[in-house]
Structure 1
């Protein structure tokens, strides 16, 4: 896999040539492999104990929300956080890149009340402007180049109401996996078939404040266990500024 990427990247200066700035994925094998990777990953861990209960981040979000909020989750995985937030009285829409994850979650959609749908974050979010009060993304925004990451935050800004909130975590540049694999660009690596973009605190502030889109409310560097392995993450809460809407 790594040699394939290297062959495709000859003469390429930025991973944006693989993931173009308009967010439309090119029909290259790297895209197919990433989708296959996540489908298999969710199959493997679907019934693991870690996935059966809401995460501390979801509980933190629930404690901060007023009643009956419209919540969009990006990268819902097993859906445990989405179902938890729905049970707290919120209207939750949960999306994921993995068709397997969404298929399994949708089987219980009537019971949970959560609306599940497939969403590739490299494409425009399939929701109207101002559709949500809060966007929630745990460990789902750190798989893209800088250019695509900025497009994702533009889309998040678009679908949030004025002053709407975003709460997210991304692997940090202090993470034990930082630097593993092939170097694809600044803080961007391909390791064992998975692309990871590690966020620094400085980068997180910079990408959020671009064009006045978001105001950071809190930003911390913390450790957490991800499938029984220690990880370092940037945890950020921000709100939509009154700037550009597109």
Structure 2
């Protein structure tokens, strides 16, 4: 079942609220309207072949956890990974910053069983403590300052059950786009309106350790993103028992 909750203070909003806010800046990094940027990005690439089939990262998660898990996806985009994971027997809640992406997912994949929400990752995650067994985030956590990034990982830790898993990828400092545009902070750049925070292996380890995650695996690898080579950090970790 797909549905939305109107709870702006907690970071989840209804479609009407998102559409109404499209004319106002929403990002705390720079003067760019990141909501309009992402709505436009999803409109441009919505039917791209790359977005039609599940990513290898989603298959890795499916192979690494038992069936019937409660999974939260942060940054679901076209919904392909969320629907795939739901089809594997899991209960998936899929969120995205873009109201356009969530609206399209509800329109075309509303019968998938996935619950779709609009969620601004700069706001607290609007879910109770220990609500999920796993959090999945492919290329969605690398758009924020260090302070906001730490808050996001703290929120992920909160909504995971003890020993729950997180699997994510972020663009790395070895990425071809690293250094392009205006530097906003350490490893943080704005290029053509888009803000990107590039993760080093050292930074990834530090953020996970500070938020009481235990790393199961951490690697640098290359992948294609819209037919362009990208370098990403891939992290697999679990929440501490405390």
TM-score, reference length from structure 2: 0.87
1:110 positional shift? 3.7
Task: Report what 2:148 is aligned to.
Answer: 148
Unaligned runs of 5+ in 2: 1-10, 12-22
Distance 2:24 2:177 in 1: 25
- 3-state SS of paired residue (1:137): strand
CA contact (8 A) 1:109 1:115 kept: no
Give me the whole-angstrom Cα distance separating, in 1, the residues matched to 2:33 and 2:161: 35
Q: 1:115 and 1:222 mapped to 2: Cα distance?
A: 31
User: Which residue number in structure 1 is paired with residue 182 of structure 2?
Assistant: 182
Structure 1 unaligned runs (5+)? 1-22
Offset of residue 65 of structure 1: 1.2
For 1:201, the equivalent position in structure 2 comes to 201
Report whether the alignment pairs 1:94 with 2:94: yes
> How many residue pairs end up in the alignment?
217
2:234 equivalent in structure 1: 235
Q: Is the 8 A contact 2:57 2:138 kept in 1?
A: yes
Task: Report whether the alignment pairs 1:226 with 2:225.
Answer: yes
Structure 1 position 33, deviation (Å): 1.5
Distance 2:63 2:72 in 1: 16
Q: Deviations over 1:201-223 (max 9, x none)?
A: 00000000005x10000000000
TM-align CA RMSD: 1.4
TM-score (norm 1): 0.86
**Alignment-derived partner of residue 43 in structure 1:** 43
> Does 1:215 find its partner at 2:214?
yes
User: 2 CA distance for matches of 1:30 and 1:71?
Assistant: 27
Number of the residue aligned with 1:29: 25
Return 114-123 or 102-111, whichever deviates more. 102-111
Deviations 1:39-64 (A, max 9, x none): 01000110110000000100111111
